[in-house]
């Protein structure tokens, strides 16, 4: 019987030694070069998706006066907006640090005769949106890019002359005076 007692006692000693060692592990830090950039891009995108973006340039030209094209990215996979006459929605996919693909644009089907050229502007806007492959965001500005060229420039405020960080104007002084004069 004695030979069996020694191995059992030795085995218990090994288990006791294991119990004293810490089972807590150090967290694994991902050191791949792009991980930090992608994490920052996720934080940046949350900010982009929280804004209403007024389209200030369509393929280098200002939108037709009297139209107010705008876009709002919703978190994850869809966006919505106005093309000047019709409202639209679409799905999008973000890729890596600044990749963006927009597809499946669905819009209302109203016809607007005025301002002149608004329907052609909408068709151009939808075409450009479907060809976007990346974006660049800065405070108060979002550029949607195709093959390295800025196709759509957007601003947070509707008034293009606002300085970054300033709110859009609330109307002319005359309009504000009329509001102040009301009982």
What is the rounded distance in angstroms from the CA atom of residue 87 to the CA atom of residue 98? 26
Average pLDDT over the chain, rounded to an integer? 78
How do residues 104-151 score in pLDDT, each as one tens digit? 999 999 999 999 999 999 999 999 999 999 999 988 999 999 999 999
Task: Specify if 179 maps to a domain.
Answer: no
CATH number at residue 118: 2.40.128.270
Average pLDDT for residues 48-70, to the nearest whole number? 95
* pTM of structure: 0.66
How do residues 14-35 score in pLDDT, each as one tens digit? 555 555 555 666 665 555 555 5
Task: Specify if 61 maps to a domain.
Answer: yes
The number of distinct structural domains making up the chain is: 1
Tokens matching residue 77 = 């996979």
Task: Specify if 33 maps to a domain.
Answer: no
What is the rounded distance in angstroms from the CA atom of residue 11 to the CA atom of residue 44? 56
Residue 25's pLDDT is what?
Answer: 64
Task: Specify if 26 maps to a domain.
Answer: no
> How many other β-carbons are positioned within 10 Å of the β-carbon of residue 151?
21
Look up tokens 């919703």; give the residue.
74
Task: Specify if 138 maps to a domain.
Answer: yes
Closest CA to 71 of 126, 134, 127, 120: 126
What is the rounded distance in angstroms from the CA atom of residue 5 to the CA atom of residue 125? 85
**pLDDT for residue 60 is more than 60:** yes
Task: Specify if 7 maps to a domain.
Answer: no
How much is the CA Rg of the chain, to the nearest whole Å?
Answer: 29
**pLDDT for residue 154 is more than 70:** yes
Residue 19 CA: distances (Å) to CA of 2, 15, 127:
26, 6, 66
Cβ contact 167:160 at 8 Å:
no
**Domain interval for residue 63:** 53-159
Task: Specify if 114 maps to a domain.
Answer: yes
**pLDDT for residue 174 is more than 60:** no
Beta strands in the chain (DSSP E): 53-58, 70-73, 78-82, 87-95, 99-107, 134-138, 141-146, 149-155
Task: Specify if 154 maps to a domain.
Answer: yes
% of the chain surpassing 90 pLDDT: 52
């Amino acid at each position: 019987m004695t030979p069996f007692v020694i191995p059992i006692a030795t085995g218990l000693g090994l288990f006791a030694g294991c119990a004293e060692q810490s089972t807590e592990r150090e967290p694994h830090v991902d050191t791949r070069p792009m991980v930090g950039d992608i994490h920052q891009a996720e934080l940046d995108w949350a900010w982009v998706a929280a804004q209403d973006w007024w389209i200030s340039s369509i393929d280098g030209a200002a939108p037709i006066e009297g139209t107010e094209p705008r876009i709002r990215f919703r978190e994850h996979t869809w966006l919505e907006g106005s093309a000047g006459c019709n409202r639209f929605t679409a799905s999008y996919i973000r890729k890596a640090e600044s990749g963006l693909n927009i597809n499946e644009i669905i819009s209302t089907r109203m016809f607007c005769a005025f301002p002149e050229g608004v329907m052609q502007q909408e068709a151009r806007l939808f075409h450009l949106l479907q060809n976007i492959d990346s974006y660049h965001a800065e405070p108060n500005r979002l550029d949607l890019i195709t093959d390295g060229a800025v196709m759509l420039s957007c601003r947070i405020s509707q008034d293009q002359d606002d300085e970054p960080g300033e709110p859009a104007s609330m109307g002319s002084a005359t309009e504000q005076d009329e509001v102040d004069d009301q009982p």
